[in-house]
Structure 1
Amino acid sequence: MACSDGGSGSETGTSKSALNAASCPSVQPDPARSLFVTDAAALEKLPFETVMNRIVATGSTTGQSALSLFQQLMDTMNNQANAKTQGPHCDDVIVDGKPSINGFPIECPRLEGRLATTNPFAPAPDPDGYDPVGIVNRFDLAPQNGANCGQYRIVYTKRSGKTSFSDRVLLIFEATLPNPNPSAGLAACLPVTEFWAGLTTDDDANSRATKLADFYLTGLPGFAPVVKAAHYGFDGGVDTGQIRANLFSAPQGQFPSQWQLREFRLSQQCTSGDCSLVAKNTFVQVNPFGALFGGGDAASTTFQNAFLNQVSSLASTNLNTIGMSSSGADNAGESNEQDTSNDYLAQGQNNATFKDAITAKLAEISRTDLTADDILNRATTQSCAGCHQVSTGRSMGAGLTWPRTLGFVQIDESSRISPALTDTFLPFRAQVLANFINSQCSDAGPSLANNGHVDPKRTIGGGLVGAAN
């Protein structure tokens, strides 16, 4: 995900022979095998209980159970009056009389808080159980300086969502994989990219499934396993992973609150050397609070002035590299998919001074083919709600249109993935993976832009480090 500027080497400055580059595959990755895996054999190797047990085993020494960690995570969406665990809870912090995360108001409680008393490991067909639906390679999110080797994700869905539109929960476990040799830069991550690309040429589904399970649960030689408590948010900051939730769940006979995305990070709570894990509902990264785009108070003015520095990256000519960063202090605690709170064009529409400043910045970078409205629409795509629902089908200006999802989700309970993924994002990520491997395994030259220049603020995929998409 995001990076600190650790390690000065680039992949082009490391000996190819030292990396055993002769073994590199020369292959165009198949997205279905090497980027977004949904085949049943692979999914069956990573059941929810196995992954949760491994997380607890690598982060807790108190006898804590995977069930108790799951229930505590869900209980963060209950207020203290309805608490099922010792906390934290959604009304622990009150700002201006309202429950808040990061100083911004949140919906509290949410109906999903009732799931703090359910068993997510219940076998099929129990509707409260969770099934894996996707295994995701996000090497394209690795920082160019190799501060880490990218993110590797598993998507789980509440089984009830297969039959009930009003009882849907998706949990996305987004682990950041540490670089075991940061001084070598991104080149040290070559074995990870070789592993994923090699799945394309393995025609045995059971073999691919075993390899993926080993990668996630055991780790490649010299690398930590993907599934490890510390990889889901320890230490905070921008160089750690997270757990995200896409929520639209109500008890039978009730209609849910609106679709909403939340973010969680794990931390340790230690006493006398014994530690247990705590899931904290944190702010949503790269998801500025919408009112900052239209407000005239000091905080909004500071945000708007800083936003002007994002215009250049938002003006990208490629949908895949449209990017925005935001200060942690500006990020909201929730991302709503059915109102205008994360529609940054709607939020800033009447802020003529701000829009004039965006127009002036576009003229400064010679992008008069774009308007201030285009930039605000592009900013919306970088929020969780924008990418999942708000931005779909919208014009981004300069001939670009944001691709369509499956309606609020990028993957559903049947492992069906969105047109946005199949037609736009996955082909691009496949090319990023192939270009990096080819640059390491041949004399084709550096894989990074600008003749191999390493930009610690950019990913190998060309986006901004820390982007949520």
Structure 2
Amino acid sequence: MISVAKLRMSTAVILIATHSSAYAQPYCPEPLKQHSIVFNDKAALADRFSFRKTINAVLKSQGIAVTKEAAEKLVSTMLSSFVADDFVNRNSQLRMQVSERPMESVLKASDLLDADKPDNPFAMVPVGLFNRLDLVPEDWSDCGEHRIVYTFNKAIDHGNSPPASRMTIIFEARLRNPLGGQIGCQPVAEFWANLSKLADGGVIADELDRFYYTGLSANIGPVVHADNYRFGQVRGNLFVNKVGTSTGPVQWNLREWIITSVDGNSSSFVPVTVKTNPLAELYGAGVPATAAPQARAATVKDEFWREFKGSYLGQLIEFDEVATDKNHKNYDKRLDRTAPEFDLKVFKSYLFSKLGARFDDKFNEFQSSVSPIDNPMGPAIDNTAFKQTVVDPEAARLAKVGVDSTQLVARAAAVTCAGCHNFFKAGPPAGTAPIAKLGAEEILWPASLNFVHIDEKAALSPALTEFFVPFRREQLEKLVCKPSAPITVEQLVATAEVQARDRSILRLQQSIRALAPQTAPLGAGTTGGLISQIQDDREAQRLKPGFFVQNRRSH
């Protein structure tokens, strides 16, 4: 048990050592520049954030010897996961089908890691760094996510048939709070804000290099550390359809992994469910055909309908209810349709950013794609019974905020990965299903760049530039313009206990030898038990309400 008395005695020392400027007036420009939220200078990023450098940093953080072979072995564990045609959801115990990805599975790890050869079309190169402090939980137990996006150096043109191959890998590190409370994350917020003082891309990239690979201090960072991809994740956006003379599917597909070491000598990408992506067939009239066993699938579907009505429906309209509640702590006149100060652009920015639901992981599947079977609004899913049974009984509550049953289901579709990246492409024509309506104006989900939000040239999508970046910038300004409250002893105790638990997990990792995580079922044996323990911790953290965004989603 951690001594509260000892913590009380050392609080001042810890505060000074970790954040000596904690009570100083933070830097507060008006407004922050875009590169305090996303830095997408491709030339400046190229050498400082190479794919190999990130993979090597992950290996080093695990105490694994950094060699060419070790790096290729780690990347190969991601590629080998594309051979599978199903995975087991450890919470629901459903075996859920996924699309085989034959073209991704035959890619060579050495090609993805080698950006030095100009004739290598498959090299992964950095195109953007993203500040996602807006994803901090309400209790400030972590400091949000800090991301690196890699793509092929350019889309690989195959002529008219098949379409160009593309691939994106996003390293989404969830940074642990070294102290607890808002003050523990204040140095991170101020670091990103202070980038607005800089104009030279090379200097900005150098500062970000320090944060990502070295750390801001002995207690904060580095971002690129294996622990941060156990509690965070790595996500892939896949569209490889030709390698050599072989041709594969042309369906966009998104996947998710965590990184962990289970034998102390090697590291693995472990496939996990894609968050906020319930199996789309759960919205349908019948038993989900892509999940087995069927009897269990029917039970899970019943649970999903009950929990959607009891929790998720309310979460999907929570923004609307708060927007008109003058007594709510987060009330903002700019978002209140009945107020003279109402601002439609700000309203959209906040709606798109805050819309979400904290779906239990037992419902999530292992992919999100443009396939009609993965779209709750698509032609392959008959959601009539779902709307009649689950949504329509709440019609009076929905009517108060001006949302109908079709818009409600459209919101559930929009918060999936495929929904955000290419809304309804596989169902109705893109943009025909609104998520809200204000008077005569239908509010449609904002546009991506053909299923990506940052492309191979480091261009940003309209959704980012017009809505998501302005929202995130405003939240960062709130952090750096308002001094944080002093940390409490209770917060120190809670944080220290979390860190002690994390250290015990790491010790357990180092003690396991000669196990093969890619062949062991998740949740079975020593390896599966370790992975389950990690995922339990991740799920508990993920389901916490957010400080800025109540229902946090990963995109």
TM-score by length of 1: 0.82
Show CA shifts across 1:368-393 (max 9, x none): 52111111100111111111012463
Between the aligned partners of 2:86 and 2:280, the Cα distance in structure 1 is 23
Count of residue pairs brought into register by the alignment: 416
**2:469 aligns to what?**
426
2:96 aligned with 1:108: no
> Which of 1 and 2 has greater Rg?
2
Return the match for 2:194 from 198, 216, 220. Answer: 198
Return the letter of the residue paired with 2:188: V
**1:460 aligns to what?**
547
**1:86 aligns to what?**
none
Show CA shifts across 1:235-287 (max 9, x none): xxxxx1111000010225535331100111112122xxx33211112211111
**1:226 aligns to what?**
223
1:34, distance to aligned residue in structure 2 (A): 0.5
2:271 aligned with 1:281: yes
**1:136 aligns to what?**
130
Between the aligned partners of 1:354 and 1:413, the Cα distance in structure 2 is 40
1:439, distance to aligned residue in structure 2 (A): 2.1
Between the aligned partners of 2:396 and 2:47, the Cα distance in structure 1 is 53
1:440, distance to aligned residue in structure 2 (A): 1.9
CA contact (8 A) 1:285 1:468 kept: yes
Between the aligned partners of 1:53 and 1:436, the Cα distance in structure 2 is 33
Return the match for 1:358 from 388, 391, 406. Answer: 391
Between the aligned partners of 2:423 and 2:397, the Cα distance in structure 1 is 29
Q: Unpaired runs of 5+ in structure 2?
A: 1-14, 287-297, 321-350, 425-429, 486-541
TM-score by length of 2: 0.70
Return the letter of the residue paired with 2:437: A
Between the aligned partners of 1:345 and 1:325, the Cα distance in structure 2 is 22
1:21, distance to aligned residue in structure 2 (A): 3.5
Aligned identity (percent) is 28
Between the aligned partners of 1:51 and 1:353, the Cα distance in structure 2 is 44
1:360, distance to aligned residue in structure 2 (A): 2.6
**1:217 aligns to what?**
213
Between the aligned partners of 1:259 and 1:77, the Cα distance in structure 2 is 13
Between the aligned partners of 1:35 and 1:282, the Cα distance in structure 2 is 27
**2:417 aligns to what?**
384
Alignment partner of 2:250: what SS? coil
1:61, distance to aligned residue in structure 2 (A): 2.8
Between the aligned partners of 2:381 and 2:388, the Cα distance in structure 1 is 8
Between the aligned partners of 1:461 and 1:224, the Cα distance in structure 2 is 22
Gap change, CA 1:168 and 1:365, over 3 Å in 2: closer
Return the letter of the residue paired with 1:398: K
Higher helix share: 2
Return the letter of the residue paired with 2:257: F
2:297 aligned with 1:306: no
**2:80 aligns to what?**
75
Show CA shifts across 1:304-345 (max 9, x none): 111121122212242221111111111111111243422346
**2:111 aligns to what?**
119
Return the letter of the residue paired with 2:238: L
1:116, distance to aligned residue in structure 2 (A): 3.9
2:255 aligned with 1:262: yes
Alignment partner of 2:105: what SS? helix
Return the match for 1:401 from 434, 444, 464. Answer: 444
Show CA shifts across 1:80-110 (max 9, x none): xxxxxxxxxx258589xxxx99521112353
Return the match for 2:356 from 301, 323, 333. Answer: 323
Return the match for 2:478 from 431, 435, 460. Answer: 435
Return the letter of the residue paired with 1:105: Q
1:422, distance to aligned residue in structure 2 (A): 0.3
Return the letter of the residue paired with 1:204: D
Gap change, CA 1:323 and 1:347, over 3 Å in 2: farther
2:400 aligned with 1:367: yes
